[in-house]
Structure 1
Amino acid sequence: MARVNALVITGYGTNCENESAYALKAAGAESADIVYFSDLAAGHVRMDKYNYLLCPGGFLDGDDLGAAQAAALRWRWSKTTDGTPVLDQLKGFFNAGGIILGICNGFQLLCKLGLLPAIGEKYFERQVSLSYNDSGRFEDRWVTLKTNPESPCVFTKGIDCIEVPIRHGEGKIIPMNDETLQHIVDNNLHAVQYVDPETKEPTLEYPYNPNGSPLGIAGLTDPSGRILGLMPHPEAYNHKTNHPSWTRGTDEKMPLGLAMLEAGVNYLKAK
């Protein structure tokens, strides 16, 4: 079985790195190193040591959509001391079979970099963005997600519905145009959707859909299925006592959010 070595990127305001690393270890990763992007850019750490990349959430550059843009530009233009572009490391990591999970700000970053949804396998070409919640405010609540069984996503295998917390002010997915949205649907790149907790059907109804994303899309994958980005925080539901209803036993109806991170670990170990 392959050894799972995870890399958790932090810095510039990110603040979910510790619980992300904890969740990765709890999900079965042999290692989960927290690394500042500046150390990656300086060449102190290289991505070829790892096969699982997690871009966590927090308040990246002040939790602003322009911040995801700034972070994407750092990835695009930073070079190590020997002149190697950091982006080349990322490309090499993915081409070598690595998997990538972006959560909240990390999802925004993957979209700004053009790694999601990569329609037509056009990686590093921006096709979607994210904008302010329809509610016009920061949303901090639990939501119910349903996975798309036709999606190629390796992080959702074996999962039907799952409850996880969200905490964001800018999580509404904005496709470049209607054609882009149709391509996402036709290719089953909408990996997870916000659903009504009773009917388990995708919804635009607030607060079940906390931001107004079309078709209730909460997360996207790429054609390979090895990249997943989502606004909710599966890493924050890593123990049953995290759930607000754990004392009433209602949390036992669905798996922990940890199941998504574990699915990625299982994929790598089965290779």
Structure 2
Amino acid sequence: MTVRIGVITFPGSLDDVDAQRAIRVAGAEPVALWHGSHDLDGVDALVLPGGFSYGDYLRAGAIAAHAPIMAEVKDAAAKGMPILGICNGFQMLVEAHLLPGGLIRNAHQQFIRRDQRLRVENASTAWTSEFEQGQEIVIPLKNADGGYICSVETLERVEGEGLVAFRYLGVNPNGSLDDIAGLTNERGNVVGLMPHPEHAVEPGFGPDTSAAMRSGVDGLGFFTSAVQAVVGAAA
């Protein structure tokens, strides 16, 4: 079967085309969707890409969380569709209450860009099944509002229920509580993270590795995981 993964473009999206290419590299068909639409075009999974939706006015992701298409995104999430929020997309997911907590300005008050080490904390989601529990990966990171926050009670639940999908290793780049880099919902179909896996899917364009410069492709596993989740659900 051909797996079709939608990528929603919002005003200010920057990485929507990159996400579409990552989907294509993973063997699926990318489908461009528009924030003002109420039609998901029959896609099997969704990506909310990085960028600065609506100029990050009010609060990063806050306006986009109320875009017309988000009503369909919420319905799809409730029905179990795999949904990935990357950076600004992660901010949208927490603002839409599809993931717990919130994201604020980096602790050092500066935009950061680096190749970031992560540990996979939950390898049983629709977007992480191609990884091993505890696996260390390197994914590019670029954000100004990536500090994860939540209440004490929410943090206890997130940690206790295994909802932390990824954790920063080596350095906490933005002051996130418990070094949290990404989350999943209880069902495992909705995942959000601040680093950008779509920028690490092709040799020659990813992070440096011990093998060669720009040879890192650790981000590809996100998209092949989603493909397998869709194929498995249809079997």
TM-score of the pair, normalised by structure 2: 0.90
Runs of 4+ residues deviating >6 angstroms: none
**Equivalent of residue 217 in structure 1, options 161, 165, 180:** 180
Closer/same/farther in 2, CA of residues 9 and 190 from structure 1, 3 Å limit? same
Structure 2 residue 129 is matched with structure 1 residue 157:
yes
1:36 is aligned to 34
Which letter maps to 1:194? Y
Which residue in the other structure is 2:21 paired with?
22
**TM alignment of 1:158-173, pairs within 5 A:** 158-159=130-131, 160-173=135-148
Report SS of the residue matched to 1:242. Answer: coil
The residue correspondences of 1:1-271 to structure 2 (distance < 5 A) are 2-29=1-28, 31-38=29-36, 40-41=37-38, 46-47=39-40, 49-64=42-57, 66-74=59-67, 78=68, 86-117=69-100, 128-149=101-122, 152-159=124-131, 160-175=135-150, 177-196=151-170, 208-245=171-208, 248-249=211-212, 255-271=217-233
Map Cα deviations across residues 41-68 of structure 1 (whole Å, 9 max, x no partner).
Answer: 4xxxx22601111000012122456241
Q: Secondary structure at the match of 2:61?
A: helix
Q: Which runs of 5+ in 1 are unaligned?
A: 79-85, 118-127, 197-207
Give how far 1:155 is off. Answer: 1.3
The Cα of 1:181 is off from its aligned counterpart by 0.2
Paired amino acid for 2:138: E
Query: Quick one: structure 1 residues 64 and 169, their matched pair in 2 at CA, closer, same or farther if it must change by over 3 Å?
Result: farther
Structure of greater Rg: 1
> C-alpha distance in 1, partners of 2:185/2:175?
22
CA 71–87 in structure 1, closer or farther in 2 if over 3 Å, else same: closer
TM-score normalised according to structure 1 size: 0.78
Contact residue 65 and residue 131 of structure 1 kept, 8 A: no
What per-residue deviation string (whole Å, max 9, x for no partner) do you get for residues 61-119 of structure 1? 22456241111122xxx4xxxxxxx55533432344311000000000000000003xx
* Contact residue 87 and residue 193 of structure 2 kept, 8 A: yes
CA-based RMSD of the aligned residues comes to 2.1
* 1:137 Cα offset (Å): 0.1
Q: CA deviation at 1:33?
A: 1.2
**Residues 117-165 of structure 1, C-alpha deviation per residue, up to 9 Å, x if partnerless?**
3xxxxxxxxxx1101111110001110011114x642212232121011
Q: Could you list the runs of 5+ residues in structure 2 that have no partner in the other structure?
A: none
Partner of 2:98: helix, strand, or coil? coil
Do the aligned residues in 1 keep the contact of 2:117 with 2:136 (CA within 8 Å)?
yes
> 1:64–1:146: structure 2 CA closer, same or farther, 3 Å change rule?
farther
The aligned amino acid for 1:184 is V
SS of 1:245 mapped into structure 2: coil
- Identity rate, percent: 32
Distance 1:88 1:257 in 2: 28
TM-aligned CA distance change 1:242 to 1:35, over 3 Å: same
Partners of 2:206 and 2:214 within 8 A in 1? yes
Partners of 2:74 and 2:98 within 8 A in 1: no
Q: Residue 30 of structure 2: SS of its match in structure 1?
A: strand
Q: 1:234–1:260: 8 Å Cα contact kept in structure 2?
A: yes
Question: Aligned to 2:19, what secondary structure does the other structure show?
Answer: helix
